[in-house]
Amino acid sequence: MFDTEPSAKKCAGMQGLIKEGSEKIEEEAGDAALICAAQKAEHYEIASYGSLIAWATLLEETEAVELLEENLQEEKETDEKLTEIAESVVNAEEAEEETDSEEEGKTENLKTRGKSNSRSR
């Protein structure tokens, strides 16, 4: 479209986000943490496409604007899907796990109190 050969350049910001996500996987941080890392990458891409659209608009490159807007929309849809998953499934599961472990802790405390009370009598 621009009569130039495409070239690639590594993006330090995206590399950092990928590294952070990889660390979450290694730490077995949980699905919510992984979704958070994925959304950070999506937001970075959304910001990048927004800037590219602005530049293409200034250059009056309407075909490029249309293509970039398609990509931007795909990134926004992916971000929305990640939010839906986090809100409907992952956060609910993790909250349930916390509730279960809190209940186990309360039960254990009651057992411990019962033992100490019977000893003091």
- Residue 83 sits in a domain of what CATH number? 1.20.1260.10
- Band of the pLDDT at 29, cuts 50, 70, 90? confident
How many domains does the chain divide into?
Answer: 1
The pLDDT, as a whole number, for residue 31 is: 83
Residue 4 resides in a domain: no
In terms of Cα–Cα distance, which of 48, 53, 52, 26 is closest to 37?
26
CA–CA separation, 45 and 48 (whole Å): 5
The pLDDT, as a whole number, for residue 121 is: 46
- Band of the pLDDT at 52, cuts 50, 70, 90? very high
The pLDDT, as a whole number, for residue 106 is: 63
Residue 72 resides in a domain: yes
Residue 3 resides in a domain: no
Domain that holds residue 66: 12-120
Mean pLDDT of 1-19: 90
Residue 57 resides in a domain: yes
CA–CA separation, 52 and 68 (whole Å): 7
Residue 7 resides in a domain: no
Residue 2 resides in a domain: no
The pLDDT, as a whole number, for residue 11 is: 92
